[in-house]
Structure 1
Amino acid sequence: MNRTARSFRLKPLLAPALILIFGILAMYVLASLRTEPPKRTPLPKVRLVETTVVHYDTLTARVVGYGRLTSAQPVNLVSEVSGTVQAGEVPFQPGQSFRRGQVLLRIDDRQTRLNLNSAKSDLLNALANVLPEIKVDFPEQYPRWQEYFDRCDFDTPLPPLPEVADSKLKLFLSRFNIYKLYFAVRNLEIRLEKHRILAPFDGAILSADVRPGTPVINGARLGQIINLENLEVEVPVPTADIAWIERRRPVILSAEGLPETWAGVIRRVGKAIDPKTQTVPVYIGVSANPGRDLFQGLFLRADFSGRTVPHGMRIPREALYQEQYVYLIKQGRLAYRKVEIARRELNSVIITGGVAPGDTLVTEVLQGVTPGMLARPRSTAVLERGK
């Protein structure tokens, strides 16, 4: 009875146990029948880079410098006479432009003009006294001296004295003080001219120290003017670049924000090196384009024409490693090559050897690469994706 009851209690547990055992056996059987998939070998990573094909040609070196435009002929105006300042033909104010020959300022000349007319009167009086004597003693010379007397007046400059070859006539004229009176008149005429300040060139007034009505004395400063016909730029050039400049070729000048360019010529090259910057000043004469003014103090960029390199190639600075090496792509892998450098420029380098024409040269900065690494030109990869 007890055995029968125990058997009755075990029957509900037997079925789940059998199902569990059967499931485990089936799992092992199925696992033994499954085949392992083949393991994939990872493909090597190929670096895509910017490249260019090596090609040698005749190149012109580039030399770039910067400088400020100034007048090559600033002039300080100083009074050589005394008097009261009067207005000229243009307002005497800073920034005012003027043309060659215009009157910039006048200085009261009434006293000098009266002294000049008085001296002319003395000369005419002496000529009037000597003419009758010349008519008697030197009749062949009389018409010339009579004509000269008729040409003299108080409103025009004194004409030059007739030439005298006869020593006796010269002595005769000296006795009547003709030469002394003549040169006294010429001296006052020159002094009268100094009462007008004339513009010696086309230019502009840089500073004005006096105004109309201001009394001035001999030696007083009146102002400063600059010559706009004679402008130049002083460009400091590194000593290493001086030898690369072709001095007979034009220089192209430009200013940031202005569309115009100006042609310049190298006028002279300094003979002293700035000890702080190790540069040599190069002075460039500038010609303004018609219809466009150049301003004093304008900051300009100067592009010099350099010497030619007969067999060279210009590559970007970032293509150079350790100042003398480049990367090539050889049979799909990076190769390290030493190159021959002819010149280093601001953003580029001119090479003349070390790589062969037709080689594929890497032109971008590479980081974390070594020679032998797989690489492809980026342009080739783009073309293949587009097919």
Structure 2
Amino acid sequence: MAKLIRLSLPLLVLAIALLAARYISNNKPEVQLRPPEQLAKLSVEVMPLRLQNYQASVSSYGSIQAHTETKLIAQIAGTITYVSENFREGAFFEKGEVLVKIDPRDYQNAITIAEAELQTSQLELAEEQAKVTQALRDWERLGKGQAPNDLVLRKPQLAAKQAAVNSAKAKLSRAKLDLERSVIRAPYAGRVLDKQVELGEYLSSGKTLASSYAIDYLEVRLPISLQQQTVLAIPENFRQSQASQPPPLVELTSSYGSEQYQWQAKLVRSEAALDAASRQLYVVAQIDDPYGPSNETKPALKIGQFVRADIQGKQLSQVFVIPRSALYSDQQVVILQDGLLQRKTVHIVWQDADNFVIDSGVEAGQYLVTTPLGRVISGTPAEATEQANEQL
């Protein structure tokens, strides 16, 4: 009995497995298909692209410098007898104004002596001319018709007396010039930088009196990069030609404490060579009449003062102006078109602190996405925000 049970158990297990397999096969679960999930749309802000004209502007920095800076030098020796009130550091003077006087008595005496020498030499010349006339008469009477030589006619003696007169005239002219130089006048309207002499001081010839600079206009050297040069109408001087366009305007700004002041200038020229180290071009802005009535309410400009310059550039025609935040790496922007985001590569012609200026890669009427999106791919569904739709 026990043996029969042991033999029948495997058969029983096999029968149960077959029955279970048949039941599972006849009762398969039905697969329920779900509808495809809708991808969530991004909500983005957009702006319409419109062609427009853009006034480019270039920023640079430089320092105030004089276009003419000279040293006033004494051309004669003597004691200073007069110093002008305007002959001191920081003071202004006008062209032709008397700044310093040197004791003139020695030079007045030199004129008197030179005049006496001139009169003496002129008298001797007149006497020699009379001798020449008499020698010619004597030769005509005794020369037997032969031509007289120069010695007979006293031509060398006459030339020597004439040279003496010329020398005396030159000495008198030099004495008068020295007397004129005893009064030192301003060669231009200017300002004193550094005064080096005082009243009563004895000057030797060649002594420096002061350093000064002309104030009819001041200049600023401004470095310009190669890219900035493309949007500037830089005045270029060529031989035997004149500039046909008005110079670009320049606004100079400098800070005094918490206050900022502006001066108007104009771009007048560029320098002849690029800077060897930076490969930049230096242009020169000119400030006309910096200390005139139009600038009386501002602090006086100083030589060496640091200023910022905003230079008027060219007007760029038919371009798109987009915010800097809308540009991604590889010069790409994102456009919303037919509910999908599209990445477009654009060409940048200019940029400033807030915007990029582009001229190709997109079309007028397209909608530029201004919302920062990171690494979004083309074809991503998106829609404009309600606020953006209302603005559009």
TM-score (norm 1): 0.69
Paired residues of 1:79 and 1:221 also in contact (CA < 8 A) = yes
Deviation, structure 1 residue 69: 1.3
Which of 327, 336, 344 lines up with 1:329 in the alignment?
Answer: 336
Contact 1:126 1:176 in 2 (8 A): no
Deviation at 1:274, TM superposition (A): 4.0
Q: SS of 2:178's equivalent?
A: helix
Alignment of 1:158-169 (within 5 A): none
Instruction: Report the CA distance shift for 1:383/1:232 in structure 2 as closer, same or farther (over 3 A).
Output: closer
Q: Deviations over 1:217-251 (max 9, x none)?
A: 22222220011113110001113323432124323
State the 1:302 CA deviation: 2.5
Distance 1:318 1:288, change over 3 A: farther
Q: Which residue of 2 aligns with 1:57?
A: 52
Q: Is 1:268–1:284's contact at 8 Å kept on the other side of the alignment?
A: no
Give the Cα separation in 1 of the matches to 2:39 and 2:372: 25
Find the residue that maps to 1:255 and give its secondary structure. Answer: strand
Structure 2 residue corresponding to 1:376, chosen from 384, 387, 390: 384
CA shift for structure 1 position 373:
4.6
Pick one of 282, 307, 326 that aligns with 1:319. 326
Separation in 2 of the partners of 1:316 and 1:297? 36
Verify: 1:217 aligned to 2:204, yes or no.
Answer: yes
> Which AA in structure 2 matches 1:287?
D
Q: 2:171 aligns with which of 173, 184, 190?
A: 184
* One-letter amino acid of the counterpart of residue 192, structure 2: I
- Decide whether the 8 Å contact of 1:262 with 1:288 is kept in 2: no
Equivalence for 2:70: 75
**Distance in 2 between the 1:308 and 1:344 partners?**
13
Tell me the distance in 2 between the aligned counterparts of 1:274 and 1:374: 52
Q: Distance in 2 between matches of 1:274 and 1:319?
A: 37
Which residue number corresponds to residue 273 of structure 1? 275
Deviates more, 1:123-132 or 1:319-328: 123-132
Identity %: 22
CA spacing shift, 1:220–1:312, aligned 2, 3 Å: same
Q: What is the RMSD of the two structures over their aligned residues, measured on CA atoms?
A: 3.4
Aligned residue number for residue 350 of structure 1: 357
Q: Secondary structure at the match of 2:364?
A: coil
Aligned to 2:82: 87
Answer whether contact 2:330 2:345 (CA < 8 A) is retained.
Answer: no
How many correspondences in the alignment?
Answer: 312
Which residue pairs with 1:162 in the alignment? none
Query: Could you tell me whether the CA contact under 8 Å between 1:104 and 1:199 is conserved in 2?
Result: yes
Shift of 1:48: 4.0
Q: Equivalent of 1:47, from 36, 43, 52?
A: 43
Counterparts in 2 of 1:53 and 1:241: CA distance versus 1, 3 Å: same
Cα offsets for 1:241-280 (capped at 9, x unmatched): 23432124323122144554413132232403241x4422
**Secondary structure, counterpart of 1:282 in structure 2:** strand
Separation of aligned partners in 2, 1:281 and 1:338? 34
* 1:314 aligned partner, one-letter code: V
Partner of 1:231: 218
When the two structures are superposed, what TM-score results if normalisation uses the length of structure 2? 0.69
**2:288 matched to 1:301?**
no
Partner of 1:96: 91
Whether the 8 Å CA contact 2:56–2:316 is kept in 1: the answer is yes
**SS at 1:177's partner residue?**
helix
User: How far apart in 2 are the matches of 1:309 and 1:381?
Assistant: 30
Stretch of structure 1 that moved more, 264-273 or 223-232: 264-273
Counterpart code for 1:264: K
Structure 2: how far apart are the matches of 1:114 and 1:48?
A: 95
Question: Which of 250, 261, 264 is the matching residue for 1:262?
Answer: 264
Q: CA separation in 1, counterparts of 2:330 and 2:59?
A: 21
Structure 2 unaligned blocks of 5 or more: 1-36, 134-154, 236-246
For residues 379 and 129 of structure 1, the distance between their equivalents in structure 2, rounded to whole angstroms, comes to 109
| Pair 327,190 (structure 1): closer, same or farther in 2 beyond 3 Å | same
